[in-house]
Amino acid sequence: MARDATTWEAYSPSAKNPWDIKKVGHLYRRAGFGATHAELLQGVTDGHEKTIAKLLNGTAADPDFDRTSEFMASERSMPAGTAGVQLAAWWLDRMIRSPHPLREKIALFWHNHFATSIAKVANARYMLGQYRLVYTHALGSFRELLREMSFDPAMLIWLDAKESKKGKPNENYARELMELFSLGIGHYTEGDIREAAKAFTGYDVKYGKMTFTEKEHDGSSKSVLGKSGDFKGADIVEICLAQAACPRFLTRKLYAYLVSDTDVPTAEELEPLAQMYKASGYENGKLVETILRSNRFFSSAVYRTKVKAPVDFAVGIVRGLEGNVGPLNLANAMASLGQVLFAPPSVKGWDGGAAWLNAQTLLFRQNLALSLTSTEDTRFGRRCDPVVVLAKHAKATDADAVSFFLDVFLQGDVAPDARTKLLDYLAKSKTAKYPPFWSAEEVQQHRMRTVAHLTLTLPEFQLA
Amino acid sequence: MTNRRSFLKSSTLLGFGGTVPTFLGRAAHAAPAAGKPGAKDTILVVVQLTGGNDGLNTVIPFKDELYYKHRPTIAIPKDKIFGLKNGLGLHPSFAPVGRLLNDRAAACIVQGVGYPNPDQSHFRSMDIWHAASTAENLTEGWIGKALKAKSMPAFHLAAGNEIAPLALSGAPARVPSITSLDDFQLRTGGANGKDNQAQKKIIEDVAKGDSPMGPPNLLDFVRRTATNTYESTERLQQIGKTYEPKVPYPTSAFAGRLKLTAQLIDAGLGARIFYVSLDGFDTHAGQGSLTGSHANLLETVSASISAFYRDLAERGNGDRVCVMTFSEFGRRAKENGSHGTDHGSGAPMFLVGGKVKAGIVGEHPSLAKLEDGNLVHAIDFRQVYATVLDKWLGLDATAILGKSYKTLDLFA
């Protein structure tokens, strides 16, 4: 286990810790939304350097994808009154098809970090504007992101900054800026919040743009985190960014997101990352890259130590089956799984980790897996068909099919009895009774779709 | 070194599985300390009377001549009133709840409930009741917030095409809307029953499967959650087949939803909140008096709630349950020209349960001092919510409602 000085050094394969299909799968789950069969094989062939670089930089832009996604996000397609679920569908489609899944994955990290919900903002254009902000800076500068986020129309509405006027400041934004967006509890006082709130007076949203009204701004001198001056909002952001707690807070959160729900690094272990992040001027891409390349990231201690978020689960299935589902139906299914994009449950975002799974959400995950693998479900029909994927990859026998699905979804890494049980099912179902009107081909297809569904219900598949 | 098997076994004893699965959440170990409200896994059943129940023809000030003056064709004759002990009466169709109050000390009436500047739109006023707020944009429900404060299993027992109420939104995971027990089962795509069974068995077996040796980890957690889930759904299907109510329920769909609630409670799944609605209270025309459409609605509500309570009481769960009814508003004091009533304001709420403090809380709104023809509220509905949250479910009502409301004396 890489817990020594080499923990953040770049991983290189060894006899003890080789580069294999499990590593490729691990990387694609954490730095994306899961791999396709082709991506897994390519990753093994390409080796670790090339594969990690591919995830970090994305593959060549796909003009067709960009154009379609842009068009779908135009004001004509998605006016202000568009329902949240349509926005969620739009993003899910990007997660499924983007040539640069890491950027979507980190954009999702920031979406969860700033946790703004359309339920209060009630304007799809503003929400889309905030998406663009987190997407633009996903792998760019956190400094820029936090500066712009502080005056983002959706955020101004979400945290009541637009209600905040001289003489009656609203503390909501100032509080969450420190508690949730930059420092974490314990690194500021209530006095800092009250003072900072004065700096955030006078801002509003008009015609979709942030406005600043001098006479509604409290121009008096404020004292925040040891600094004094007639600060405006942007000054408070800089003061927060200058705190030692800021890079530590963000590094820890990003580590949990990319690496592990259960492995909690000590402050000493994280310090080099936090220092590097701060020294880089909060370059997110650099921090993400260091983590994803590290010995720690590829160590057995963090393998499968995350519960998949609902989007990881659903998008992973669609990608693995190379499906082309209607994203709106997928988005509609996500509420029962506990994650509606653009509508996090509170300003804290989704709790994540073990909290993703309970009897309800697990049941609906398993039933969604059935809907996606069966062709009987009217929402997804044949748009995501295990039979088609098997044919495409010329997997003809029962043993081939079991290996194929276990490889795509779990890189073959399951308890031996799970594989045996799947093969047993296929053996027994060969001679089972079927409706007399089913053709031999239909029986075969039924068996293949079933084994795909059963693979997805394995407990290991819930973990990223 | 502890091996996995013994870890799984001991974790079962810690309340993860066995008789009380962690259904939908962490109910089993989230229970408050004994002695605190909510310690005994209390249950709240919210009954929504959709459309605006005519409170004045439900709890009736029959000794007040103004009542008969305001309502010449729809008033309930004095001699037909079901008498309560303090000079008030109930519509005779509401007698089943009246008997719970008079004979079993298991019902409470809160009179004159409403909120300032009442809104007379069904939708707006319903949203206000659901969100427990009169803010402009209402996006989260009071129950959703309660579930956020404390993860508890909850169910919405829905009519055929009824969507999830705003009251439940904001919960960490969507509260399942179920119309029958079939909604809550593990689905498989088998060609026939035998195939389905074979598939289910695999899914259940692989969930139980043993992991390699090592310290307990996240995979164990998934296995445990999965196994508990499958056991729970299995049990739900079983109780569906074997549940025999201790008292007969009426045949209405509404009674069926309460019966399903009783089944879910009896299954011991740890569910704490249930939400049930009955539509049709928008009685603008020909609402009837002793008989008629409003009388039928009251009969449906009260007979069903009474059967539900008595069924639960027979099973020893009477003291665990509190049924709370509400409607988005009451109706105009004076009847209209169509022998009906228009949208009003202040109206009564009912609480039913073994630990409910039997009696009447608050004064009946004056029939002389009307506001725009409407009864004036004296008790804010959020006082009732706060009491239920605080004294019954054992939650921080102020944090959930965003403001402190004076609680009422509703529980014994």
Question: Would you call A358 an interface residue with chain B, using a CB distance cutoff of 8 Å?
Answer: yes
pTM over 0.90: no
Whether A366 and B186 lie within 8 Å, measured CB to CB = yes
Whether A421 and B232 lie within 8 Å, measured CB to CB = no
Question: Would you call B25 an interface residue with chain A, using a CB distance cutoff of 8 Å?
Answer: yes
Report helix, strand and coil shares of chain B as percent, to nearest 5. 40, 15, 45
pLDDT tens-place string over residues B119-138: 989 889 999 999 999 988 88
- Could you count the other beta carbons within 10 Å of the beta carbon of residue A453? 24
Residues near A37 by Cβ (< 8 Å), separated by ≥ 6? A320, A322, A389, A393, A404, A407, A408
> pLDDT at residue A114 above 80?
yes
Q: Which residues between 285 and 314 in chain B have a beta carbon less than 8 angstroms from any beta carbon of chain A?
A: none
What is the pLDDT confidence band of residue B18, given thresholds at 50, 70 and 90? very low
Question: Would you call B279 an interface residue with chain A, using a CB distance cutoff of 8 Å?
Answer: no
Whether B189 and A449 lie within 8 Å, measured CB to CB = yes
Residues near B154 by Cβ (< 8 Å), separated by ≥ 6? B24, B143, B147, B168, B171, B175, B271, B272, B273, B274, B275
Buried b / exposed e across A114-144, counting CB within 10 Å, b at 16+? bbbbbbbbbbbbbbbbbbebbbebbbbbbbe
Q: Which two tokens stand for residue B351?
A: 């609480």
Whether A354 and B221 lie within 8 Å, measured CB to CB = yes
The single-letter DSSP state of residue B321 is: E
Q: Which residues between 178 and 207 in chain A have a beta carbon less than 8 angstroms from any beta carbon of chain B?
A: none
pLDDT tens-place string over residues A57-74: 999 989 999 999 999 999
Provide the pLDDT for residue A119: 85
- Whose tokens are 């073994």? That residue is B354
CA distance B233 to chain A (A): 9
Q: Which residue of B has its CA nearest to A419?
A: B206
Provide the pLDDT for residue B40: 60
Cβ neighbours of B23 in A, within 8 Å: 358-359
> pLDDT at residue B17 above 80?
no
Q: Which residue of A has its CA nearest to B147?
A: A345
Whether B209 and A345 lie within 8 Å, measured CB to CB = no
pLDDT-above-70 percentage for chain B:
88
Whether A459 and B169 lie within 8 Å, measured CB to CB = no
Whether A362 and B137 lie within 8 Å, measured CB to CB = no
CA distance B212 to chain A (A): 8
- Whose tokens are 């089972």? That residue is A432
Mutate to test the interface with A, among B4, B26, B148, B187 (most CBs of A within 10 A): B187
d(CA B318, CA A274) in angstroms, rounded, equals 57
What is the pLDDT confidence band of residue B225, given thresholds at 50, 70 and 90? confident
Question: Would you call B225 an interface residue with chain A, using a CB distance cutoff of 8 Å?
Answer: yes
Q: Which residue of A has its CA nearest to B174?
A: A336
Question: What average pLDDT does this structure show over A127-156?
Answer: 98
B148 vs A345, A361, A457: nearest CB: A345
Query: So where are chain B's domains?
Result: 4-14+42-401
Query: So where are chain A's domains?
Result: 159-303, 310-462
Provide the pLDDT for residue A382: 84
Whether B173 and A306 lie within 8 Å, measured CB to CB = no
Question: Would you call A345 an interface residue with chain B, using a CB distance cutoff of 8 Å?
Answer: yes
Whether B139 and A422 lie within 8 Å, measured CB to CB = no
CA distance A321 to chain B (A): 17
Range from A257-266, B26-35, B140-149, B299-308 carrying the lowest mean pLDDT: B26-35
Q: Which residue of A has its CA nearest to B17?
A: A359
Q: Which residue of A has its CA nearest to B144?
A: A345
Provide the pLDDT for residue B35: 52
The domain B4-14+42-401 having CATH identifier 1.10.3470: the answer here is: no
Shortest CA distance to B152 belongs to which of B166, B172, B170, B169?
B172
**ipTM of the complex as predicted:** 0.94
d(CA B17, CA B221) in angstroms, rounded, equals 12
Question: What average pLDDT does this structure show over A210-234?
Answer: 97
Provide the pLDDT for residue A3: 67
Residue B307 and residue B329 in contact, taking contact as beta carbons nearer than 8 Å? no
